[in-house]
A and B are shown apart, each in its own frame.
Chain A
Amino acid sequence: MQYVMLIHQGDTPSPNDPEAWAMLSPEEQKQVYVDYQALNQTPGVTPGLWMQPPELATTVRVQDGKTLTTDGPFVSVKEALGGYFVLEAEDLDAAIAVASRVPAARLGGAIEVRPVVES
């Protein structure tokens, strides 16, 4: 089975927000990097592209043939997608086990496990 793992940052402190990031101890900060690195080296994981924070997103709509752009993500910044990776796993239980190792899952965010349509 293949899954797209969508990382929702939620309240997770990120280096993009130095004030929130400073709330983590240096050990915790280091652990976040270590965990993401371990995740990317997990068998079955294809790392996603590294996205800029949602604050830098532009949202585009077309109404009556006219293109409208707004500053920021489609949903609120807190609910916006923070990142993603692709996982090849035996079944949902295996995917849940990997999802639970993503630092965002324990730091105030959540991982959405989305199965890919089998061709």
Chain B
Amino acid sequence: MTLERVFRDEWGRLVAGLIGFLGDFDLAEEAAQEAFALAAQRWPRDGPPESPRAWLTTTARNRAIDRIRRDRTLAAKTRLLEVREATEDGVDETTIPDERLELVFTCCHPALRLDAQVALTLRTLGGLTTEEIARAFLVPQETMAKRLVRAKAKIRAAGIPFRVPPADELPDRLAAVLAVVYLVFNEGYGGRVDLAAEALRLGRALAELLPDEPEVHGLEALMLLNDARRDARFADGELVLLRDQDRSLWDSDRIEAGRRSLERALALRGRGPYVLQAAIAALHVDDPVDWARIAALYGELAELTGSDVVVLNRAAAIAEAGDAEAALALADGLDLGLERYHYLHATRAELLRRLGRVEEAREAYDAALGLVHADAERRFLEGRRAELGP
């Protein structure tokens, strides 16, 4: 087992346990870093320990205790003085508590800004460096460093608790956690593969930690099913629509794993937004695709979320099921809140094209092209527009 692999698997759990033990984010991170640095020196020489987890925990705790002994003001800041010093003899793997859930709920606390929640989650649970997070979100490293410092300062000064919320607060707080993970995934889906992998890892950890929450499995299923089609989404940098995608490029293991997560979510009677989206994603990879069922699920999702974008997706599914007329009526009935949204115009354009209303279709493509930002999507729309003549 490589050290890098141990780092990926153990970092989040190690940091979470240290924060629980020390009551301080910075000290915990430093101690975890030192423990891994020491491991990099010793393990190749002495061979890896029997339990890497116990070794890392003991080493990091001892390092932190040493630092606190040297630094009295630090001692005042942490809870350590109240803690028994039984760590020197080493810790038994079975007695190390898993406090990653406490950590994720602290990182994704609504009193922190969303961008700070994301950064903090990737740093403390994912073990990404400040530089890596900055690069992933296209902000200067200094900006990201400030964001993390500020978030940690707020956790400490404002008294954001390190705990799993009580049952009555859990649904809302869990939704915030899942939103952070899904945001990370979508950033990765747009091309930054590392982030997608990180989101999948976080999703898997959440599914282990909250096995009875259907939405957690729903999110994992949704991410797996979408990720499975990553390689087929683009060909030579061009966006490829689902029905034109090369199915041999789909990752069938991932699809199977996604379906299994979805089944678990449905068995738990999940019917929340992530479960519904995952169910839709699963239908998308069926052959043939049951568009009528997809349209029905989008209808259910629209009712749940009140989102016009979902209504638009429903319209597209109704068109695929064969009723472009009804789809257009649905799209045209939408409130003007989406006027500036290129997808509304792109969807209308496609529907008008199918109905042979060429002139209106051209206008709609032009409207979409005036609003689209992503290059690949722009080229796709330009291609469609060109087919209709000048």
Which residues on A are within 8 Å of B, measured CB to CB?
Answer: 1, 3, 89-93, 95-96, 113, 115, 117
Contact = CB atoms under 8 A, between A and B. Distances in A.
B157 interface: yes
B76 to A, nearest CB: 10
Interface string B131-165: 00000000000000000000000000111110001
B158 A93 contact: no
Q: Is the interface of A mostly helix, strand, loop or mixed?
A: mixed
B56 to A, nearest CB: 29
A115 B157 contact: yes
8 contacts: A91-B159, A91-B160, A92-B158, A92-B159, A93-B160, A96-B111, A115-B157, A115-B158
A39 B163 CA distance: 26
Nearest to A89: B159
A115 B157 CA distance: 7
Q: Is the interface of B mostly helix, strand, loop or mixed?
A: loop
Interface of B: 109, 111, 157-161, 165, 169
A90 B166 CA distance: 14
A40 to B, nearest CB: 22
Nearest to A113: B158
Contacts of B158: 1, 92, 113, 115
B77 to A, nearest CB: 10
A90 B163 CA distance: 12
A3 B111 CA distance: 14
Contact of A95 (B109, B157, B159, B165): B159
A91 B157 contact: no
A117 to B, nearest CB: 8
B141 to A, nearest CB: 29
A101 to B, nearest CB: 15
Nearest to B76: A118
Contacts of B109: 92
A86 to B, nearest CB: 14
Contacts of B160: 91-93
A8 B111 CA distance: 18
Nearest to A1: B159
A110 to B, nearest CB: 14
A96 to B, nearest CB: 8
Nearest to A116: B157
Contact of B161 (A3, A91, A113, A115): A91
B345 to A, nearest CB: 37
B119 to A, nearest CB: 19
A117 B158 CA distance: 9
B157 A93 contact: no
A91 to B, nearest CB: 4
A89 B158 CA distance: 11
